[in-house]
Amino acid sequence: MQLHRLSGNRAFRWQRISAFYLLLYTPLLALWITLTPHATTADNLIASLTTTWWVIPNLLALLLVITHAWVGLRDITLDYTPRQRTPLWLEALRWLLIAVMLNLALLLYWILL
Amino acid sequence: MEFIISRYNPETDTAPHDRHYRLHQQELDGGTMLLDALLKLREQDPTLAFRSSCQEGVCGSDGMNVNGQNCLSCITPLASLKSPIVIKPLPGLPIIKDLIVDMTLFYKHYAEAQPFLQAKPPSEAHEHLQTPAERAQLDGLYECVLCACCTTSCPSFWWNPDQFLGPAALMAAQRFVIDSRDIQTRERLQSLDDPMKTFRCRHIQNCTAACPKGLNPSRAIQALKASIAKEH
């Protein structure tokens, strides 16, 4: 990955968008869990959070958490890795992201079907 | 009053080292600034090197790190400092001698921000005019004296000194981005849309805490980032 191809503002915008969404989503999720009487076991909790109108917000939150974490990890990589090896570390980070997404897709497939 | 001053002479020393100095209370009055004390110490030890020029906080030449905080010695009251006063050169820049640092990199980044007006060709009929509101937007941005107290207190600059422009340069960039007379706004923003030049700023706010003129570079950089994001 070439450093000069990295965007500054695109990462900045995604970080802000994901933070804003999670700021709204997290309290709502906490409220939902608190007010759901049967969410005392993991199975019940998963069942209540995979109801039709919770699936999309949950998936979106998961994707945005990963996006937010990716921007943070990219920043850490740019700041701390030795300059000659930064492109290598960024490439490794990209493959890690792809692996996480694949893993997540498999997990969701397993949960939803 | 005790002073611990970092000394370094590249011709004789391999690394900076601390030297202790003392000034008697009778030599200092209530309004003594740190620079006055340093001038007295230099009478004791003429080899002590530091920069100073206007001695009233306008030229920005006497920036130094005092008790862990960057400041201008000429406008820092001695009474506000705890003894022993530990004085070091501005961090993150190469030391030339004692408290004198090499500002070449700082000025290079400042030049990269193109801190000059790029307006339409001047008309003979009238000057480039601004409304009072447009002029007021520049307040808090143009007063920088280029002392480098902000940039050298910034961890992002310490990590990437050759690539991150630093708070002073980015605040200067923002000053011309929002100037209503400038016609190169888009080009300026495009050149600043870079993960290293601009977006290394993590808003740690050391710059704002260090600015001896009471400016807020962190807020200026936040506004600059928002302008870059809007532009795309």
Per-domain residue ranges for chain B? 2-101, 104-231
* Average confidence (pLDDT) over A2-13: 76
Q: Which residues of B touch A71 (CB under 8 A)?
A: none
Nearest CA in chain A to B228: A9
Task: Quote the pLDDT of residue A32.
Answer: 85
Give the position of tokens 């290079």. Answer: B108
pLDDT band at residue A2, thresholds of 50, 70 and 90? low
Q: Which of B194, B199, B204, B231 to mutate to test the interface with A (most CBs of A within 10 A)?
A: B199
pLDDT at B135: 96
Per-run averaged pLDDT (10 residues), chain B, 232 residues: 96 95 86 94 96 96 97 95 96 97 98 94 84 96 97 96 96 97 94 93 96 97 94 78
**What's the confidence (pLDDT) of residue A24?**
96
The topology under which CATH files domain B104-231 is: Fumarate Reductase Iron-sulfur Protein; Chain B, domain 2 (1.10.1060)
What is residue B18's predicted lDDT score, i.e. its pLDDT?
97
Give this complex's ipTM. Answer: 0.74
Q: Which fold has domain B2-101?
A: Ubiquitin-like (UB roll) (3.10.20)
- Among the partner residues A11, A13, A80, nearest to B195 by beta-carbon distance: A11
Has residue A1 got a pLDDT over 60? no
B142 φ, ψ to 5°? -90, -10
What does the pLDDT look like over A19-70, one tens digit per residue?
A: 999 999 999 988 888 887 777 788 887 777 777 778 889 889 999 999 999 9
* Cβ contact A83:A110 at 8 Å: no
Task: Name residue B44's amino acid.
Answer: Q
Looking at residue A5, its pLDDT comes to 64
Q: Are B52 and B62 in contact (CB under 8 A)?
A: yes
Which tens digits make up the pLDDT trace of A67-80? Answer: 999 999 999 999 88
Neighbours of B107 (CB within 10 A): 14
Domains of chain A in start order, with CATH, are: 3-112 (1.20.1300.10)
Q: Across the interface, do A13 and B229 touch by the CB < 8 Å criterion?
A: yes
What pLDDT, on the 0 to 100 scale, is given for residue A4? 57
Peptide linkage before B91 cis (omega within 30 of 0): no
Distances B121 to B98, B130, B144 between C-alpha atoms, Å: 46, 16, 27
| Closest by CA position to B35, among listed B84, B87, B83 | B87
Shortest Cα–Cα distance, B165 to chain A (Å):
14
